[in-house]
Amino acid sequence: MTLHIPNEVEELARLVAIKTGKTLDAVVKEAVEARAKALGVTIARRRPFDEAKVRAIIERVTALPTLDTRSDDEILGYNEHWAWD
């Protein structure tokens, strides 16, 4: 996502970044987070990707019995009469 900000705001953010030794992105993020917190805005944090949990889910799903042995084409109804319009 691209964010367009006025030149004077960007320059101010750059000066803060230089003074603090942080990146421009970090300075802007910290400022927005501080304002959000002051306003009582809840900041949702993403949970880190847990590969072990994903693998466990895959294993459980793979172990499930096959309830329908038809092919994908049979389920979708594709056959020799199927035509794309």
- Going residue by residue through the chain (85 aa), what tens digit of pLDDT does each one get? 788 999 999 999 999 999 999 999 999 999 999 999 999 998 778 888 899 999 999 999 999 999 999 998 888 887 777 666 5
Task: Please tell me the pTM assigned to this model.
Answer: 0.50
- For 51, what's the count of Cα atoms within 13 Å in the CB-facing half-sphere? 0
The count of domains in the chain is 1
Cα separation, 70 vs 64, in Å, equals 16
11 in any annotated domain: yes
78 in any annotated domain: no
73 in any annotated domain: no
Residue pair 76/70 in contact (Cβ under 8 Å)? The answer is no
Q: Which domain holds residue 53?
A: 1-63
69 in any annotated domain: no
**Side chain identity at residue 40, one-letter code:** G
Distance of CA 48 to the CA centre of its chain: 11
